[in-house]
Amino acid sequence: MSTTPTGVQEIKVAHSPDSDDAFMFYGLATNKVRVPGYKFTHVLTDIETLNQRAIHDPYYDVTAISFHAYPYLQDEYALMACGGSVGEGYGPMIVAPRKYTTDEVKKLKIAVPGELTTAFLTLRLFHPEVAYEVVPFDQIIPRVVAGEFEAGLIIHEGQLTYGDNGLHKVLDMGQWWREQTDGLPLPLGGNAIRRSLGAESMHIATQALRDSIQHALDHRPQALEYAMQFARDLDPNLANKFVGMYVNERTLNYGDDGREAIKKLLDMGYERGVIPHKAKVDFID
């Protein structure tokens, strides 16, 4: 925690350079949302890098993380009760140049976006012995198209654009998860806050993020225009659709079933040997 000479407390925020994250942080990043006595500074880095940084060097006060990573960093961070990306029957998906049956896909080598992503955790719950190789998320579709991999596990905007590359959806992990859990949504990514900030600052920063999300939802055209610079070649209509998928009422508040889904996902990961630590999930409201 650093303090400026004027006594204003700096909160170092890190999130991924994606249109949905940019949308939810629009209010704070553009100073449309201000908090007396606090200054929020922003760093943009891909989610797998943020997962690793939070585990090995808890530098950022607020950081976007994959829920899969939380048990590895829970001693240093708690979960904010807002700011999450939750799939309502949709989520990361396995895509391939041709269609495969569920049994066939279990025999493929799949390009995945990172071992700590929630997409990968869900894939391991689907098939614990999956053959895979880690590939930067934005290279998965091109490398599947090029024939380097039989299939790819895609996240972010690729969920809307894979068809433009001639690929087929083999399995939607969010849909699979809903079927396995009697209708629960799939929690993908959230925001964690450093415990060493202390209870008051943790609460104030969490409320600031909630206010930023609400501001973006209330000023959607302006927030979308800001987010478009991070939309990776999506046209405005697709960017609007993608943001709507992952920044909505659940981003303001997970809801009881959303919180249940987070705990269930991590408990299943632990029980099936994918995660070595049992998660102690606590939310900062």
Q: Tell me the catalytic residues.
A: 156
Q: Strand pairing partners for 13?
A: 42, 62
Distance of alpha carbon 208 from alpha carbon 38, whole angstroms: 10
Name the maximum alpha-carbon separation found in the chain.
Answer: 62
Nearest C-alpha neighbor of 226 from the set 241, 237, 239? 239
List of long-range contacts for 252-258, beta carbons under 8 Å, 24+ apart: 252/82, 252/210, 252/213, 252/214, 252/217, 253/81, 253/82, 254/81, 254/82, 254/84, 254/86, 254/187, 254/283, 257/184, 257/185, 258/84, 258/86, 258/185, 258/187
CB 269 within 8 A of CB 121: yes
Secondary element (H or E) of residue 142: helix 140-145
Distance of alpha carbon 281 from alpha carbon 43, whole angstroms: 25
DSSP 116: T
CB 15 within 8 A of CB 42: yes
Distance of alpha carbon 78 from alpha carbon 282, whole angstroms: 6
